[in-house]
Amino acid sequence: MNKISDNRAWWLVLPVFLLVAFSALIPLMTVVNYSVQDIFGPGQAFFVGTEWFKSILADQRLQDSLIRQFVFSGFVLLIQIPLGIGVALMMPKSGIKGSLCLILIAIPLLIPWNVVGTIWQIFARGDIGLFGWGINQLGIDYNYTGDTLDAWLTVLLMDVWHWTPLVALLCYSGLRAIPEAFYQAAEIDRASKWAVFRYIQLPRLKSVLIIAVLLRFMDSFMIYIEPFVLTGGGPGSSTTFLSQTLTTMAIGQFDLGRAAAFSLIYFLIVLLISWLFFTAITQADKEK
Partner 1 sequence: MRQTRSKNIGIIIYILLLLTPVYWLLNMSFKTNREILGGLTFWPKNFTLDNYVVIFTDPSWYNGYLNSMAYVSINVVITLLVALPAAYAFSRYKFAGDKHLFFWLLSNRMAPPAVFLLPFFQLYSSIGLFDTYIAVALAHCLFNVPLAVWILEGFMKGVPREYDEMAYIDGYSFPKFFIKVFLPMIRSGIGVTAFFAFMFSWVELLLARTLTSVDAQPIGAIMTRTIGASGIDWGLLAAAGVLTIIPGVLVIWFVRNHVAKGFALGRV
Partner 2 sequence: MAEIQLKSLAHSYSDSPTGPDDYAIRQLDHVWHKGGAYALLGPSGCGKSTMLNIISGLIQPSEGEVLFDGKRVNELSPRDRNIAQVFQFPVIYDSMTVYENLAFPLKNNKVPADRIKTRVQEIAEVLEIEDKLHKKAKNLTADEKQKVSMGRGLVREDVSAILFDEPLTVIDPQLKWKLRRKLKQIHEQFDITMVYVTHDQLEASTFADKIAVMYGGQVVQFGTPTELFEAPNHTFVGYFIGSPGMNLVEVERCAGGVCFDSTVVPLEPWQADLLERMTSTNVKIGIRPEFIEVSAISSDDTYESEVLDVEDLGTYKIVTVRLANQEMKVRQNEEFEADLGSQIHLSFPKQWLMLYVDEFLIQEQQR
Q: How far is residue 132's CA from residue 140's CA, in Å, rounded to a whole number? A: 10
Contact predicate 241/69, CB 8 Å: yes
Compare residues 61 and 93 and give the one whose CB is closer to partner 1. 93
Interface with partner 1 includes 26 (CB under 8 A)?
yes
Closer Cβ to partner 2, 57 or 284, answer by number: 284
CB of 176 to partner 2, least distance (A): 17
Please report how close the Cβ of residue 167 comes to partner 2 at its closest, in angstroms: 21
* Spatial CA neighbour of 86 closest among 164, 180, 158: 164
- From 3, 190, 193, 286, residue interacting with partner 2 (rule: CB under 8 A): 190
**Does 285 help bind partner 2 (rule: CB under 8 A)?**
no
Q: Give which of 76, 113, 93 is closest to 176, Cα–Cα.
A: 93
Q: How many CA atoms lie within 13 A of 166 on its CB side?
A: 22
Minimum Å gap between C-beta 107 and partner 1 is 7
Beta bridge partners of 41: 44
The DSSP code for 2 is P
Q: By CB under 8 A, name the one of 44, 47, 110, 181 that touches partner 1.
A: 110
CA separation for the pair 87, 167 (Å, rounded):
9
Complex with partner 2: residue 191 or 213, whichever CB lies closer: 191
Q: Which is nearer to partner 2, 175 or 230 (CB)?
A: 175
Is 252 near partner 2 (CB under 8 A)?
no
Residue 195 binding: pick among partner 2, partner 1, none (C-beta 5-8 Å cut-off by kind): partner 2
Residues 6+ positions from 201 with CB-CB distance below 8 Å: 89, 175, 178
Handedness of CA 185, 191, 196, 198 (dihedral sign): negative
Single out the residue of 38, 39, 79, 108 in contact with partner 1 (rule: CB under 8 A): 108
Question: Applying CB under 8 A, which residues contact partner 2?
Answer: 179, 181-182, 184-185, 187-192, 195, 199-200, 202-203
